[in-house]
Amino acid sequence: MASMISTRRRALSRGPSGWLAVPALVFFLVFAVIPLVGVLFLSFTSWDGLGEIRLDGMSSWAAVLTDPVTGNALVVTAKIIVFSFIAQAPISLLLGVFTSGAQKYRAALAVLYFVPLLLSSAAVAIAFKALLDPNFGMGPGLGIPALTQDWLGNSDLVLFVVVFVIAWQFVPFHTLIYQGGVRQIPASLYEAAQIDGAGRIKQFFHVTLPQLKYTMITSSTLMVVGSLAYFDLVFVLTAGGPGYSTRLLPLHMYLTGFKANDMGAASALGVILVVIGLVLALLLQRLGGRNRSASQLEGA
């Protein structure tokens, strides 16, 4: 017994046992890694969700790749990623810099900015559906004709409405990330810049922005990869419509699998989703050069 303890001590003196990581690893393997392999496997089968799963070669892939709706879903997804990035990134950055200021009221504003994150996407979608209603929403309420539109029924407008609602819900989160990033910039850098006579705008471009490089990569990665997960918001807000105008990839996958009962094709769409996510994440990491998160990803 005593010798057992002493060997254990010696092993422990090199640090804790890897066993401590095993429970988390098991959960993650069973409910994330195995399904990830499973989605690839299921893309080569045909399955209606209830009956037998039959191996079916490339037929699901052929169906998915020749279906014009897939192409459309990819375009809609790309648009949402790009537009919601363009909408969110500058606002989050500026608000993050703003709320990191020393003034008390800025911190109070930051507390209020967080409120949209408390709502579920379903709740946000329902609220905006009512708010945007051309008869009983904000347009007639405020008496502004430009705001009185069939926002969700007009296929030219609806995508921008979706982007706006996404920004409304997720800008607060990225603001928080930037706020934290700004607070870690050493004050001495600003003092040096001030001594050199740099004004606020110069300080922003020459101190704040360069110092926020890693924060930008973190936030952008979460933003872009997050765009691939906008499901519930769009599902409740527009259900992909009108027509196919907001049917983005995750929604297309859900509808193909659980409404059209074609799990094989839906799995192929799932694989496409994973590949896009990985490629975008790696691209963003490369874009930022070797940085902390990249070296973490590579285990360096």
Residues 45-84 that bind other proteins (CB under 8 A): 49, 53
Neighbours of 49 (CB within 10 A): 12
CB closer to other proteins out of 41 and 205: 41
Q: Which of residues 275-294 bind other proteins (CB under 8 A)?
A: 277-278, 281-282, 292-293
Count of residues making up the chain: 300
Closest approach, Cβ 84 to other proteins, in A, equals 15
Q: Which residue has the tokens 């699998």?
A: 257
Binding string to other proteins for residues 240 to 279, with x set by CB under 8 A, is what?
Answer: ----------x--xx--xx----x--xx--xx-xx--xx-
Count of CA atoms in the C-beta half-sphere (13 A) of 125: 17
> According to the binding rule CB under 8 A, does residue 238 interact with other proteins?
no
Q: Which is nearer to other proteins, 158 or 175 (CB)?
A: 175
Q: Any contact of residue 35 with other proteins (CB under 8 A)?
A: yes
Write the CA distances from 125 to 88, 122, 152, 231, integer angstroms.
Answer: 18, 5, 11, 11
Q: Give the C-alpha separation, 73 to 24, whole Å.
A: 35
CA–CA distance, 171 with 92 (Å, rounded to integer):
6
The footprint of other proteins on residues 204-233 (CB under 8 A) is: 214-215, 218-219, 221-222, 225, 228-229, 231-232
Local structure of 13: helix, strand or coil: coil
Q: Which stretch binds other proteins (CB under 8 A): 60-68, 78-86, 107-115, 240-248?
A: 107-115
Residue from 58, 65, 86, 94 that binds other proteins (CB under 8 A)? 94
Name the minimum Å distance from CB 230 to other proteins.
Answer: 10
Is there binding between residue 33 and other proteins (CB under 8 A)? yes
Binding positions for other proteins, 146-175, rule CB under 8 A: 168, 171-172
Residue 53 CB, shortest distance to other proteins, in Å, is 8
239 near other proteins, judged by CB under 8 A: no
Burial degree of 234 (CB within 10 A; 0-12, 13-18, 19+): buried
Q: Which of 17, 57, 209, 290 binds other proteins (CB under 8 A)?
A: 17
> In terms of Cα–Cα distance, which of 253, 76, 236 is closest to 159?
76
258 closest CA partner among 230, 238, 239:
239
**What 8-state DSSP symbol labels residue 32?**
I
